[in-house]
């Protein structure tokens, strides 16, 4: 009977969701990527190569017109004189064509995306470059996709759709909110863009960066990132929409994925855009990084993500749809991998969270239902924020252990529980004192 009433309620809500969006304010600013603009959608992941050379920053010269990045042209933003010379020599030697380039300060590298010369295969070019001692890294430019398909003493919210949020209800988030709502925790979302004007999101977004292009309108129309952001930190008690798992947490948005021109093809990212996003997060105090996406293993991305993990960041990734974690980012040790409850069989160490028919925010100030392990990962990122607000020094291993130990059965399916995790953490703290 309860299931029938829920379905009837959903039907009534869906008939009115589009009419419930309030007046639209001015959009917050979105920072564009530094350096020359490039059409990342036109990059060829079946042929292009990522190449990296050493990029030691030259000391500042003592005469007018000098700077810390040498006399780099606009096409080599952030490149040292040594990196520029090395790249020029490699281009001359091998006849390669540079598509774009960018620095990765934390690794002391300058990377370019290049096209092999006509008549030479990518594999042959990679083999040649791997033998050149001037090359620090050479790998394929790879493609990544986002993972989406389309009665207790709890905190009572005035948000009209709160009771229709399957994940929020099943994980007992309202109970957990008596003790934590994620205040002071900074979460980085690497995904598509997000509707920066959405009334349930705009006050919780600290900053946004576009690592794909300069199209602000497209940034605000992107659905996947908007859905993930709503699950993590939609504002509570504002008389509209839904409530996030951690409604007082702060978000930083890094657009590294874009929607393909072909309808229904979903959102894609590549090694170039993801590397820029990961490097950008290193310059922030974000403790949690949500990666609701995935694809093949990637040496450059693995190096960047490993460094973020070494810095104590908590990285939450979505399980690939086929249930294997052999690629990026889910295969990297230390990453918290999350699958949708009732989906592919959980492997040891993997978490399960609600990921089917999840009501969340949509572009244009609206709300709708969506599914996928992307949404499951977002639930776990939100719970991690609740835990960090209580114990800021928790690391990823401890968060994962708490969530594993406090998971329970909901309708016969094992999944994370926000209230149980918060209770377990508080009990540990009391025992320690």
What radius of gyration, in Å, describes the C-alpha atoms of the chain?
Answer: 23
Q: Around Cβ 121, how many Cβ atoms within 10 Å?
A: 10
Told to judge if 191 belongs to the known catalytic residues of this protein, a careful annotator would answer yes
Contact residues for 222 (Cβ-Cβ < 8 A; gap 6+): 191, 192, 193, 194, 195, 255, 258, 259, 267, 363
Choose the catalytic residue: 76, 186, 224, 268. Answer: 224
Q: Around Cβ 99, how many Cβ atoms within 10 Å?
A: 19
How far apart CA 3 and CA 23 sit, in angstroms, is 34
Q: Which of 295, 281, 216 is nearest to 251 (CA)?
A: 281
Told to judge if 132 belongs to the known catalytic residues of this protein, a careful annotator would answer no
Burial status of residue 383 (CB atoms within 10 A of its CB: 0-12, 13-18, 19 or more): buried
Q: Which of 175, 180, 244, 190 is nearest to 392 (CA)?
A: 180
How far apart CA 9 and CA 420 sit, in angstroms, is 28
Choose the catalytic residue: 159, 172, 191, 200. Answer: 191
Choose the catalytic residue: 374, 406, 407, 420. Answer: 374
Told to judge if 215 belongs to the known catalytic residues of this protein, a careful annotator would answer no
Contact residues for 329 (Cβ-Cβ < 8 A; gap 6+): 291, 293, 294, 301, 305, 315, 317, 335
Q: Which of 380, 415, 27, 21 is nearest to 232 (CA)?
A: 380
Residues paired with residue 367 on neighbouring β-strands, in sequence order: 361
Instruction: Report yes or no: 109 and 103 within 8 Å, Cβ to Cβ.
Output: yes
Q: Around Cβ 311, how many Cβ atoms within 10 Å?
A: 11
Instruction: Report yes or no: 191 and 372 within 8 Å, Cβ to Cβ.
Output: no
Q: Omega of the bond prior to 128 within 30 degrees of 0, cis?
A: no
Burial status of residue 180 (CB atoms within 10 A of its CB: 0-12, 13-18, 19 or more): buried
Active site residues: 191, 224, 374
């Amino acid at each position: 009977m309860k299931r029938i009433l829920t379905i009837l309620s959903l039907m009534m809500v869906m008939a009115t969701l589009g009419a419930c969006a309030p007046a639209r304010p001015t959009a917050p600013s979105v920072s564009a990527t530094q350096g020359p603009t490039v059409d990342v959608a036109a990059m060829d992941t079946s042929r292009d190569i990522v190449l990296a050379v050493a990029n030691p920053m030259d000391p500042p010269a003592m005469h007018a017109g000098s700077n810390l990045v040498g006399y780099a042209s606009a096409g080599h933003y952030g490149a040292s004189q040594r990196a520029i010379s090395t790249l020029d020599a490699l281009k001359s030697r091998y006849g390669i064509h540079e598509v774009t380039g960018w620095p990765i300060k934390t690794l002391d590298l300058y990377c370019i995306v290049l096209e092999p010369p006509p008549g030479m295969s990518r594999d042959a070019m990679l083999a040649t470059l791997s033998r050149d001692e001037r090359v620090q890294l050479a790998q394929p430019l790879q493609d990544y996709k986002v993972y989406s398909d389309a009665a207790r003493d709890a905190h009572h919210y005035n948000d009209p759709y709160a009771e229709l949020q399957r994940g929020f209800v099943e994980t007992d988030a309202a109970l957990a909110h008596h003790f934590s709502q994620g205040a002071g925790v900074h979460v980085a979302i690497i995904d598509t863009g997000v509707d920066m004007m959405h009334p349930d999101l705009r006050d919780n977004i600290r900053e946004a960066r576009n690592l794909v292009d300069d199209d602000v309108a497209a940034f605000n129309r992107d659905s996947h990132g908007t859905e993930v952001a709503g699950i993590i930190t939609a504002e509570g008690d504002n008389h509209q929409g839904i409530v996030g798992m951690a409604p007082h947490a702060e978000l930083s948005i890094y657009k590294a994925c874009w929607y393909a021109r072909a309808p229904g093809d979903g959102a894609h990212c590549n090694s170039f855009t993801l590397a820029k996003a990961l490097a950008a997060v290193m310059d922030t105090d974000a403790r949690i990084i949500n990666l609701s996406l995935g694809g093949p293993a990637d040496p450059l991305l693995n190096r960047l993500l490993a460094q973020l993990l070494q810095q104590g960041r908590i990285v939450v990734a979505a399980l690939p749809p086929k249930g294997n974690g052999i690629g990026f980012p889910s295969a990297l040790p230390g990453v918290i991998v999350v699958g949708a409850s009732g989906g592919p069989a959980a492997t040891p160490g993997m978490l399960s969270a609600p990921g089917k028919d999840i009501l969340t925010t949509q572009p244009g100030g609206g709300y709708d239902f969506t599914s996928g392990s992307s949404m499951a990962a977002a639930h776990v990122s939100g719970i991690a924020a609740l835990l960090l607000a209580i114990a800021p020094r928790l690391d990823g291993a401890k968060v994962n252990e708490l969530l594993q130990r406090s998971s329970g059965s909901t309708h016969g399916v094992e999944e994370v529980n926000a209230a149980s995790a918060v209770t377990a953490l508080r009990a540990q703290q009391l025992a320690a004192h």
